[in-house]
Amino acid sequence: MPDSLQHVTDPFAKFQEWMAEAWTHEPEDANAMTLATTGADGMPSARIVLLKGADDRGFVFYTNKQSRKAGELAANSRAALLFHWKPQGRQIRIEGRVEHVTDAEADAYYATRARISRLGAWASFQSRPLAQRAELERRLAEYEAKYPGDDIPRPPHWSGYRVVPERFEFWQNMPFRLHDRTVYARLADGGWAVGKLFP
C-alpha cells in the first residue's frame, strides 16, 4: 500500500492518521509500543508499554518511577519508541529526549485506571525481586484494606513520561522488500526536515 500522506510535513499529523487506521485493525493493541532505554552502563533495554497520550508535545506513557526503565531514564533521558502494525505493514520509529509529565496530568490519568490497577501501583515494588507471588497478593490486600473505597490517591512514586521527538521514521511495507521509508528530523527552528531512506 503506497503512503498516501507523503505530502504531509507535520509528523504528528501523519502519526495520528496512521494510529487511527491501526485502531481499525488492532482494537486492543494499537497503542502498544516498544520503549527502548539505555542506562549508565550503556546496556540497552526494551519492553512493551502502552501509549496513553499523543499530541504535538510528544508521546506519553506511565510507570513506577522506581522501575528499571525509570532508573535508566534518570541516567540517560533519551529513548526510542517503536510501533509495529503488521496488518497494515507499517512501523513508526520515534527517537527523542524524555521529560516528566506534570502532576496534574499524572493525577488525571491515574484517576481513569481501574481500582485494582490503582491499588497495584501502591502494592508493587516494580522491577525488584519477588520471592513468591503471595507477597504481592499480601501487599495488594493491605492496600485494599487501607483504601476500601474508590478514593485512592496516586502514589508519589508513580507518574508519567513524555518522549519529545527529535526524529521520526515512517516505514511502509512494499512489494519485493522495496519498502518506503520517510524520515522527519527536527530542525533548530522547531520545523522538520523530511527525506527518504533506501529500504
The CATH number that applies at residue 181 is: 2.30.110.10
User: Does the residue 119 lie in any domain?
Assistant: no
Bridge partner residues of 36 (DSSP): 46, 80
Domain, as residue range, for 177: 11-110+157-197
Instruction: Let me know if residue 49 belongs to a domain.
Output: yes
Residue 149 resides in a domain = no
Q: How far is CA 191 from CA 68, 156, 169, in A?
A: 33, 36, 16
Q: What is the pTM of this model?
A: 0.92
Distance CA(50)–CA(174), nearest Å, equals: 27
Q: Domain total for the chain?
A: 1
pLDDT of residue 85: 97
Three-class secondary structure of residue 165 per DSSP:
strand
CB-CB contact of 12 with 26 (8 Å): no
Catalytic residue annotation: 177
Domain contains 143: no
Residue 132 lies in a domain: no
The answer to the question of residue 138 being in a domain is no
Give dist(CA 22, CA 127) in Å, integer: 30
| pLDDT tens for each residue of 87-140 | 999 999 999 999 999 999 999 999 999 999 999 999 999 999 999 999 999 999
Residue 52 lies in a domain: yes
Provide the strand spans (E) within the chain. Answer: 32-38, 44-50, 53-55, 58-64, 78-85, 90-100, 158-172, 180-186, 192-197
What three-state secondary structure class fits 67? Answer: coil
* Residue 141 placed within a domain: no
* pLDDT surpasses 90 at 8: no
pLDDT greater than 80 at residue 177: yes
